[in-house]
Amino acid sequence: MKWLATLGLAGTTLGFIAIAGQAFSGAQPWDAELSDNFIFAKAIPFILGLGVLVGALRRTAAPTSPATDGHVRRFSPGTVAGHWINAAGVFLALGTGSWQYLRGIVGVDAPVPLYLFYRVHYIGATLILFSAANFLTYWALGVETPLLVPRGQWLRHLRGLAHELPRSTGTLLADLIGLDMKRTPPPVEQFTYYEKTVSFPIWLILIALITVSGLIKALRYVYPVPGGVLYWASGVHVATMVLIAIKLLDHMRYVFGRWPLLVSMCTTWISERYVQARHPGWHKQLPAGSERPAAPGPSPAEAMAGGSE
Amino acid sequence: MRALTGALGLVWAAANLLAAWVLVTKSFTALVPAKEGGLAQLLILLGGLALAVFAVALGWSSLRLALGETPND
């Protein structure tokens, strides 16, 4: 695998050098904004390729310990890194994209040049594209999909969701699709039913929409895109941006109310006591305490939570 | 760490409330949405309202986190 990584990194580096060589040669009649547009559009294949490479290499990494005394690993270190790279991209792209849209509505200009907004927007988009390619490759090469609802399990998951939602909303959902709420709710596994049936599918759809519409918009700098297609791509891009802003608020609200889940997305670890109480289905699948390696000292989760978990 | 996270959440919620206010108040008065037509104006209004609802929900969640009212387990 080392040769593949070397080859991929060399190809990516050469690609970026070639793009920079053209953009900064002094021979192009581009202003700062147009130059950024061209650099971003031409870099896209290399960004996606790098994401695919990293996703494939993550699959070859040695498995990490699933649990130690008192703590359980909820995410791999690669997943945590990928999540925060994507999050940084979303914050940068959303902040600059929102400003661009809102300033058009209210009719004001920022005290900094416009091209800087686009530059930061493209940096955010680069991080999102890299993450999308990274995660899609990682999932495609694996067999386990704990965030996806397995085939034939949707009703069971929706019943779990109805029990997790506030009583009135859960009852409404149960009435709408005919769920038997008198049955014992299915035990929560590694991810909550809300995460699996609502949150993750919505994120997937929104990231796909913003990525594809953004790619079409960027494509016009290297290929003649018809005006009608561009119009619809721009409309979808803006509408998806608003939906992502809403979903991000919901995502933050959800994890802020479940602090150990947020900690696990920073440290990879979650306390076993929390898993036992809130994720009993997952707890049953964990190896027994005697089969686990000894704890390697205080976990990062303890450090972040001030030892309170 | 919880207090800092909660404070950052409050800032983010406030920024989104401001954006929601712009979308709601300008959806039927600003020139740009008017050029796009009634459907676009309605979508901007609905988007702004939804943004406001979720920003308030995040604000409440962040406040509880900052004040240490979120349970550990």
Q: How many CB atoms lie within 10 A of CB A63?
A: 7
Please give the mean pLDDT across all residues of chain A: 85
Instruction: Identify the burial level of A128 via C-beta atoms within 10 angstroms of its C-beta, where 0-12 means exposed, 13-18 middle and 19 or more buried.
Output: buried
pLDDT category at A59 given cuts 50, 70, 90 is confident
Higher per-residue confidence, A219 vs A30 = A219
A251 touches chain B (CB under 8 A): no
Q: Tell me the pairing of strands A269-271 and A67-68.
A: unpaired
A45 Cβ under 8 Å from any chain B Cβ: no
Q: Which residue does chain A place closest to B19, by CA atoms?
A: A102
Of B5 and A303, which is predicted with more confidence? B5
Residues counted in chain B: 73
Using CA of residue A140, residue A146, residue A150, residue A155, what is the dihedral sign?
negative
Sheet holding A67-68, edge to edge: A67-68, A71-73, A269-271
Q: For the residues B24-46, what does the mean pLDDT come to?
A: 82
Rounded average pLDDT over A130-143: 91
Is the pLDDT reported for residue A303 higher than 60?
no
Chain B: closest CA distance from residue A249 (Å):
6
Contact A246 B23 (CB under 8 A): no
Q: Are A57 and A3 in contact (CB under 8 A)?
A: no
Task: Write the ipTM.
Answer: 0.92
Q: Does A67 touch chain B (CB under 8 A)?
A: no
Count Cβ atoms below 10 Å from residue A151 Cβ, excluding itself: 6
- With a cut of 50, say whether residue A300 has pLDDT above it: no
Average pLDDT over residues B44-67: 94
Beta-carbon separation of B57 and A249 below 8 A: yes
Q: What is the pLDDT of residues A227-286, one digit of tens each?
A: 999 999 999 999 999 999 999 999 999 999 999 999 999 999 999 999 999 999 988 888
> Residue A52: its pLDDT value, please?
93
Smallest CA–CA distance from B28 into chain A, residue: A105
Contact in structure between B19 and B44 (CB atoms under 8 Å):
no
SS (H, E, C) B21-54: HHHHHHCCCCHHHHHHCHHHHHHHHHHHHHHHHH
- Is pLDDT of A151 > 90? no
Render pLDDT for A72-113 as a digit per residue (tens, 0 to 9): 899 989 999 999 999 999 999 999 999 988 888 877 787 888
Q: Is the pLDDT of residue B62 over 80?
A: yes
How far is the first Cα of chain A from the last one, in angstroms, to the nearest whole number? 39
For A76-90, letters b (16+ CB in 10 Å) and e give bebbbbbeebbbebb
Q: Rounded mean pLDDT of B23-27?
A: 87
Q: Is the dihedral of CA A270, A259, A90, A20 positive or negative?
A: negative
**A146: Cβ contacts below 8 Å, ≥ 6 apart:** A189, A190, A191
Between CA A51 and CA A58 the distance in angstroms is: 11
Is A257 in the B-facing interface, judged by CB distances under 8 Å?
yes
Work out how many CB contacts closer than 8 A connect A with B. Answer: 84
Q: What is the pLDDT of residue A297?
A: 41
How much is the pLDDT for A302? Answer: 40
For B72, the closest chain A residue by CA position comes to A309
Asked if the model's pLDDT at residue A39 lies above 70, the reply is yes
Average of per-residue pLDDT across A143-162:
87
Provide the H-helix boundaries in chain A. Answer: 2-23, 32-60, 77-106, 114-140, 154-164, 167-177, 193-194, 200-219, 227-256, 259-267, 272-278, 280-285, 300-304
Closest residue in chain B to residue A279, using alpha carbons only? B73
Average pLDDT over residues A113-142: 92
- Determine the average pLDDT of the residues in B7-24: 94
Mean pLDDT of chain B: 88
Q: How far is B12 from chain A (nearest CA, A)?
A: 8
Q: How confident is the model at residue A185 (pLDDT cuts 50, 70, 90)?
A: confident
Average pLDDT over residues A23-36: 75
- Check whether B73 has a pLDDT greater than 70: no
Q: Among residues 280-299 of chain A, which lie with CB inside 8 Å of chain B?
A: none
* Confidence category of residue A292, pLDDT binned at 50, 70, 90: low
Q: What band does A123 get if pLDDT is binned at 50, 70 and 90?
A: very high
